[in-house]
Each structure stands twice: as structure tokens, then as C-alpha cells.
Amino acid sequence: MDTKHVQMLLAEASYYAGAIDGIAGPKSMAAVEITERNAGDGSHHWSQQRRLIAAGQRVLNAQGFEAGAVDGYDGHNTGEALTAWLSAKMGVSSEVDRARETEKTWPAEIPHQRDVGTYYGTPGPDIQRQLTYINLPFSLRIDWNLDQTVQRIRVHEKAAWPLYDALIAVHEHYGMERMQALGIDRFAGCYNHRRIRGGSGWSMHAYGCAIDFYAAPNALRMRCPQALFCGPEYQDFLDIMEAHEWLPAIRLWGGDAMHFQRATL
């Protein structure tokens, strides 16, 4: 999200009436301040760039495009929300093709996407009551803010131990230094109560059975061979996750390589 996008969003919300010139001048920042006063979240103390992105996130969320947490970081949720908003402005679809990529038989213990409501529960309070934290003995970097790390990941209790075992196995196989060099340690989100990108149903993230890693070079609309995780040095990573019932989207439908889920198509 650049400054022009923020200006467009602020203009859409009737906070800004200046030129869409990409310059964060007094008019632009005055519009940003309106969103900050409305939010009352203390974000006026952030850097100018974070304040601009946060303002854009607020507008996107208010208009139902689900940019996620208003944190001022231009992560993949913000990027996809912006894509959906821009596409809607142009009157074109942002729908993503998730047609089955393979006829591979997956373990029977893994529910089909059509059955996740029965298996995991209903997105919202029902799912939230069943979430638990897995505590890792090593840190993962936050993909959109590499100075921040996490060791706890919130996930559905029915998917927690397979994910824990998978990440422990990945760590044992690659080691921390190699994980960091490959970006495998760049955690890009897990539980998130939102709709599926480019669709109307619930995301697997809303069921607590999905996790993302290293988003930018493994983006939702990127396919092999362009996606980084299609490379040979990542195949062991995909194999380990799959062996522990966390299936790579790039092998499920041939896109969204950042994404792994404990559900088949």
C-alpha cells in the first residue's frame, strides 16, 4: 500500500479532498488524524509511514475488506484487502481459482473443507472457545515486522498437536540458521476471523486450521515456478508439513504457497 492508495481510501471515506499525488502533505496527514481521533488507539505516536498505512487499514476494515489488525504494517492481509477494494472499484472480480490441483488421496483424519464446520465448529465464539496456544521452544519472526518474534501460535485444539509436531520437525531438519536464511521462520499469521480472499465463504483461518509463512514471494495469486516455496530447497519443508497433516496449498490447488491448512479440498 503506497501513499496514493491511502489517499484514494481516505477520499473514498470523505476524509480527503486533495490530489492523489502520493505526497503525504498537510491535507493527507489531516485526513489521517481524523481516522486516528475516531480510533483513539494511540497510533498518532507512530512513524508517518505506519500512520498512513494504519489509516488505510481502518478504511478498508470499515468498508468490509478485512485488512486485519490496524498495526500500520503493510502485510499480506492488508495487500489482499487493497487488491479486493481496487478490483471492486474497477468492477472486476478478485476471485481466486482454487480448483483441485491433484487427485492425491489425503489421510482420512483430515476433514474436507466442506466438512470443517462439522469437524471444527462455527466461525466466531464457537471456534474461539476451542482455540489453544502451542508453545514453541524457538522463535519465529513476524513476517511484516522482522524485529518482532513469537513463540506462541493460537490454533484450533484439534489441529494444535499436528502443527506443533510439524514445526518441531521442520526445526530439527533445517536448524534455526537455515530456517532464517530460507525465510521459513517468517510467520505470517494463523487464526483470523475473516472471509476467504477472493470469495464469500469463511477462510480456513477462521476455523483455526490454517497458517501462513513468508507471504510476499509466496503470494495468494502466485503459482509455480514463480512462488519461492516451489524451489527445491523448500520441498523438505512442504513434505514435513504434509506428513504431519498440514497440507501445502501449492499442492492442493497450485497457488497461495504461503498457506498450509489442516483440511483437504
The pLDDT score that the predictor gives to residue 257 is 96
pLDDT over 70 (residue 170):
yes
Is residue 98 very low, low, confident or very high in pLDDT (cuts 50, 70, 90)?
Answer: low
> Read out DSSP for 79-131?
HHHHHHHHHHHHT------------PPPPTTSPBGGGHHHHT--TTHHHHTTE
Confidence of residue 224 (pLDDT cuts 50, 70, 90): very high
Q: pTM score, two decimals?
A: 0.79
**Residue 146, C-alpha cell as written in the block:** 522482522
Q: What is the pLDDT of residues 15-47, one digit of tens each?
A: 999 999 999 999 999 999 999 999 988 888 999
- Helix ranges (H only) for the chain are 3-12, 26-39, 48-62, 76-90, 116-119, 125-128, 157-174, 176-182, 235-243, 249-252
Integer CA distances (angstroms), 8 to 32, 67, 85, 242, in order: 12, 16, 11, 42
CB 70 within 8 A of CB 39: yes
Q: Which three cell numbers stand for residue 110?
A: 483430515
Q: Is 81 left (phi over 0), alpha (psi -120 to 50) or beta?
A: alpha
Q: Where do the domains of the chain lie, and which CATH numbers do they carry?
A: 3-90 (no CATH), 113-261 (3.30.1380)
For residues 226 and 123, give the distance between their C-alpha atoms in angstroms, rounded to a whole number. 33
Could you tell me the pLDDT band of residue 136, with boundaries at 50, 70 and 90? very high
What pLDDT, on a 0 to 100 scale, did the predictor assign at position 99?
66
The answer, yes or no, to whether residue 64 has pLDDT greater than 70, is: yes
Residue 153 · residue 182 · CB < 8 Å: no
Mean confidence (pLDDT) of the chain: 92
Q: What's the pLDDT tens digit per position in 199-218?
A: 678 999 999 999 999 999 99
Give me the pLDDT at residue 106, please: 79
State mean pLDDT over 148-153: 96
The pLDDT assigned to 51 comes to 95
Q: Supply the pLDDT for residue 101.
A: 58
The pLDDT value recorded for residue 88 is 85
At residue 102, does pLDDT exceed 80?
no
Residue 18 class from Cβ within 10 Å (0-12 exposed, 13-18 middle, 19+ buried)? middle
Q: How confident is the model at residue 233 (pLDDT cuts 50, 70, 90)?
A: very high
The pLDDT, as a whole number, for residue 94 is: 76
* Residue 241: count of CB within 10 angstroms of its CB: 24
> What integer pLDDT is reported at residue 103 of this predicted model?
66
